[in-house]
Amino acid sequence: MARPAPGTLHGPIGSIVLRKLGCVDYETVWNAMRAFNGARTTDTDDEIWLVEHEPVYTLGLNCKNEKIVGPNSIPVINTDRGGQITYHGPGQVIAYVLVDLKRRSMGVKQLVGAMEQSVIDLLAEYAIDAMRREDAPGVYVNGAKIAALGLRVKQGRSYHGLALNVQMDLSPFSRIDPCGYPGLATTQLNDLGVSLDVSAAGERLVNHLVATLGYNGARLDQNQPEALAHA
């Protein structure tokens, strides 16, 4: 049985809505998440949005004088999530986690722990020993980062989420200090011998997120979020 994340709620609490958005530019999804959270009520279902992004560097609220080495043609966006600088690109699956923490009586640390545990449990399926670090949120294999986390919570409701490297060009990470840590190596599922594409990896990731967050299942909604449709 998978080891529960610290603070994870144990009883099933209903299902969470799953939306698969495909490849969408970063700012469009970011604006849609903020609109979704701004419009949701106490009765609005929690949701997970699975996406890929075109190449983009994003800078979190903790960034201080972060630099990109060498000439750069990749867009750079200042965003409102926690954390520092990271890279997103094709071949990376991103799960944006839109949860009413107040309704769940769940703290931010509990949510982070559950998200990290979902990746650890996914990797354990393939006999890969992954770990979290107290000083640097995310998931690591042999010291190399395979998943990054960044969240924003407003009025007790979360947005942003986690990014799992699957089968991507990792070279843009070498031009930054990932998440603000100089020399931090990165890795991905394919380099660890796990032959999953982004779609399959996303399915497995959602299964583990549902379990660690304490939901009893995910309900696929094939419609675009209303906030995204009007973005």
Q: DSSP letters of 166-206?
A: -S---GGGGGS-GGG-TT--B--TGGGT----HHHHHHHHH
Number of H helices, E strands in the chain: 5, 11
Residues 160 and 180: their CA atoms lie apart, in Å, by 18
Residues 98 and 36: their CA atoms lie apart, in Å, by 9
Residues 215 and 11: their CA atoms lie apart, in Å, by 8
The stretches of the chain forming alpha helices (DSSP H) are 26-39, 101-104, 108-124, 198-213, 226-229
Helix (H, G, I), strand (E, B) or coil at 223: coil
Catalytic annotation, pick one of 95, 141, 179, 218: 179
**Any catalytic annotation for residue 63?**
no
Q: Which residues are catalytic?
A: 179
